[in-house]
Structure 1
């Protein structure tokens, strides 16, 4: 929490531009909020993604492009989750003790996870769109090798813009203590760091609004297409819409707060560089909102269940019979197969006659 002296000092910054820029940012609000939030993210995320990884590796017998995209999403989540305990430790003790190299890797994994999760969720939504709205499009004939190539392209596009983060020192020293922050103050920012920060803000905004437009387009088109059809199974319509709704909800809940706070911080640094109080406030909000980014790692297993019938069946078959959640689905499949068999038998009888 900010003390009265800190608040008074910050308010004084708004009336007179400080010499040399705003002093360095320290741990204040995020030191209270982020540790429990990140702990919940790590606990739920590791548990859910460990189960998902086990199912993908040992229970899913037939892989398709959608399964491969979801598997890459699991890998992206694990890369972020293994880096969070270091961040939690630094927030609890009040300083960073793991050195410069681990600071760079930690920040790289944190921000790469956001980009990878957004990109892969968008790919899953686009693939679902073609499956439903354009069932005869050649995208639906994609092989596993082609899907793996698409995944490699996604990883290249995600990692490429974040690699420059590894080239700079992000340790902020304050007395005998050091912090590992990507967000920096004017006073301690070099020209290279300022350019890197601008690149980061541009990526943060584009990574949200461009995929958001694609997700909304796919959801609206799928909904209108299925509602306009007079034939088809209503249950399949509901399942397709649940996939779209699940992806859109996870996407908005996890990534919208960081995007809005980044835009606010960008506005302050561009048009009100003397307003250190607003700069500190938006910096704190931006860092705290990162906790919502990693909530997607805990919620992504929900996306797996909704978007992949293969994953859902493998999950249900792994549970004890009394706890299986898809008995209705199994019964529907068995009745469907029984109905198909009876139809075939009737056709055979007709042919014999």
Structure 2
């Protein structure tokens, strides 16, 4: 009883401080590297989508929303790194802390939501070709993106009620009923927004791969692209989201068991994997390239030097050649010729 009371007392004082200053110092520099690499990358991607690729004309609304989510995540990283460098897991200012958490979880949810939507689109186009595809209908309605962002708000607002990372969570303090409900809802959202999309993603991947095996050679180019899209999303999930989810579950277990020493280690692992999850702002451009060859070509012709342009534009990346696309699908050939990439702006 005394141990639990002591932990509860310390929870409001010590748990928001970094358990190991050197570890968090290293994590802060990792976030700085992510910011230095992610800011110009995402700014360049935004430039391509708006000025070269004209995403509103090419049914790439969902891709553009992922770019926006990644950019908003990147701009939050310097503040997070600053706190880590000063030995704090979060800002001591309540408004700054809640705003930062809100932004991080909102953009995380948006990135996951739009990535899964892209995977579902490829799934319906390949496995249920010819049937009415509700995702394709949504892509033609730009307003639906606003609706998706608004739907994410109720799932993100609980992070502002009490700080999620350290000050009030299950097993830490004796809570009122309302606080307990808030904490429970927050944990459920944290886990379900990763686990349910990952299950959907694995299902889509398996079905698309099975479809690829049954198709003839002349039809495989489009299917290979679909496989690359969903596999790239699987890679993003496996590197960025699943590890921190598992670490969160382990952390909660140690906390509920009042294993303070083990919890201090688990906290460092969890925070480290959360920092790793921010790498998705660097990996998502790979998804854009696999989703839309027009975007890939636009990026290459805008930012790569001449000799490198030719090599990258002529590379097949195992997805089939341009000639295959022309011979198997005349409509696809027309799109290749009239792609915005050929326009000079």
User: What's the TM-score once normalised by structure 2's chain length?
Assistant: 0.80
Task: Kindly indicate whether structure 1 or structure 2 has the higher relative contact order, using CA contacts under 8 Å at least 6 residues apart.
Answer: 1
Please state how far the C-alpha of 1:285 moved relative to its aligned partner: 2.1
Match of 1:321 in 2: 306
Match of 1:344 in 2: none
Equivalent residues of 1:215, 1:248 under 8 A apart: yes
Sort the Cα spacing of 1:333 and 1:153 in 2 relative to 1 into closer, same or farther, 3 A: farther
Match of 1:348 in 2: none
Match of 1:309 in 2: 293
Out of 97, 102, 126, the position equivalent to 2:96 is: 102
Match of 2:60 in 1: 67
Sort the Cα spacing of 1:235 and 1:136 in 2 relative to 1 into closer, same or farther, 3 A: closer
Q: Distance in 1 between matches of 2:244 and 2:179?
A: 20
Q: Distance in 2 between matches of 1:269 and 1:40?
A: 31
Q: Distance in 1 between matches of 2:72 and 2:325?
A: 42
Please state how far the C-alpha of 1:257 moved relative to its aligned partner: 1.4
Q: Number of aligned pairs?
A: 314
Match of 1:134 in 2: 128
Equivalent residues of 1:247, 1:303 under 8 A apart: yes
Match of 2:18 in 1: 27
Out of 92, 109, 114, the position equivalent to 1:115 is: 109
Match of 1:44 in 2: 37
SS in 2 for 1:83: helix
Equivalent residues of 1:65, 1:147 under 8 A apart: no
Equivalent residues of 1:108, 1:166 under 8 A apart: yes
Q: Equivalences for 1:103-252 in 2 at 5 Å?
A: 103-139=97-133, 142-143=136-137, 146-168=140-162, 170=163, 181=166, 190-191=175-176, 192-252=178-238
Q: Distance in 2 between matches of 1:263 and 1:121?
A: 24
Please state how far the C-alpha of 1:297 moved relative to its aligned partner: 1.0
Match of 1:175 in 2: none
Equivalent residues of 2:55, 2:64 under 8 A apart: no
Match of 1:347 in 2: none
Higher mean C-alpha deviation, range 235-244 or range 107-116: 235-244
Superposed CA RMSD in Å reads 3.1
Equivalent residues of 1:65, 1:144 under 8 A apart: no
Sort the Cα spacing of 1:103 and 1:227 in 2 relative to 1 into closer, same or farther, 3 A: same
Match of 2:333 in 1: none
Q: Distance in 2 between matches of 1:310 and 1:127?
A: 18
Gaps spanning 5+ residues in structure 2: where?
331-345
Sort the Cα spacing of 1:144 and 1:201 in 2 relative to 1 into closer, same or farther, 3 A: closer
Q: Distance in 2 between matches of 1:326 and 1:246?
A: 20
Equivalent residues of 1:65, 1:143 under 8 A apart: no
Deviation track 1:249-286 (CA, whole Å, cap 9, x = no partner) reads 1111101111101111232344x1x3222332322322
User: What's the TM-score once normalised by structure 1's chain length?
Assistant: 0.78
